[in-house]
Chains A and B, each alone.
Chain A
């Protein structure tokens, strides 16, 4: 029955937006992680930031164990925000175009003084509740999509491969269920 729901959409086209923006973006993501590794030997991940930053305001031992890395993790996060902002100022705003880049069709674009910002249409309760579970799960599960998915898979870590398989399958099940319940977006 699930196959009946899924297969027609699949057969139409698995890549309605093409693959180049995904592949090129992925290469940049990998390159960013590699630059840090080359210079410092660190396999970076994005989610430890959540706990390491809490060490500034909480004395709990779980957070304090990340004291030594909390400063660079803030710099890494600021870098990620800035990099996405560079993308927003160039490709998202239409200032730069490329045959490798397909503009999006989702969410809402808004023009603020010549800069195009993008806003999600996904409902806040989904973001908030999902965020709480992501925050709990990523720390118990020892990593997220960047630590396990990009650096862990890149270093052929079996733990990370199992981690990725676990959250991928559960996420697919959850998203399909939420969609079947008629929640959109």
Chain B
């Protein structure tokens, strides 16, 4: 847990330093006025990419959990495109994504609570909907 806090701390500092906690800067990217965001995303992905590639060759298992280093590959289906598109509309409208929203709170931006409230409501809506669909599917399958 202290390590996860430390990781979050570094992660959040980076989001603050890179101004990703400012929706305006993200919107400036999406409006083609400042391409800095590319360097944030790829800068971060290069670090994780090198780390994720090298670590499993050097260590057998994670020292704190004993878990093997596995790639967390998510299966591809239609949902990635549907969800990605809905996320894209929301991101393009607001200029904020979940991690940056938490960081935005840290730089003092209380206005971002609007976005955070929205994210919880959105996550709740899809969660209830998908839980109920999964439950009714299970019932139908059980009836067969």
Report the separation of the CA atoms of residues A61 and B135 in the bound assembly, to the nearest whole angstrom. 8
Known: A133-B122, A144-B97. A86 touches B23 (CB 8 A): no
Q: What is the total number of residues of chain B having a CB less than 8 Å from a CB of chain A?
A: 119
> Does B71 sit at the interface, judged by CB under 8 A?
yes
Q: Which of A24, A27, A31, A155 contacts B72 (CB 8 A)?
A: A155
Report the separation of the CA atoms of residues A170 and B90 in the bound assembly, to the nearest whole angstrom. 9
Question: Counting chain A CB atoms within 10 Å of each CB, which of B52, B69, B89 scores highest?
Answer: B89
Judging by beta carbons under 8 Å apart, are B9 and A135 in contact?
A: no
Residues of A with C-beta under 8 A to B71: 43, 155, 157
Judging by beta carbons under 8 Å apart, are B7 and A32 in contact?
A: yes
Residues of A with C-beta under 8 A to B98: 46-47, 49-50, 134, 138, 144-146
> Does A1 sit at the interface, judged by CB under 8 A?
no
Judging by beta carbons under 8 Å apart, are B81 and A162 in contact?
A: yes
Report the separation of the CA atoms of residues A39 and B7 in the bound assembly, to the nearest whole angstrom. 10
- Interface flags, A128-172, vs B, CB<8A=1, else 0: 111111111111111111100111111111111011101111111
Judging by beta carbons under 8 Å apart, are A167 and B104 in contact?
A: no
Residues of A within 8 A of B (CB): 6, 9-10, 14-19, 21-44, 46-47, 49-51, 53-54, 58, 60-63, 71-72, 75-88, 91-92, 101, 104, 106-107, 110, 112, 115-122, 124, 126-146, 149-160, 162-164, 166-179, 185
> Known pairs A119-B109, A127-B96, A137-B86. 20 more at Cβ < 8 A?
A22-B37, A29-B18, A31-B10, A40-B65, A41-B65, A42-B4, A47-B97, A50-B122, A60-B128, A79-B7, A80-B11, A83-B9, A104-B22, A120-B104, A122-B111, A134-B122, A141-B87, A144-B87, A151-B48, A155-B71
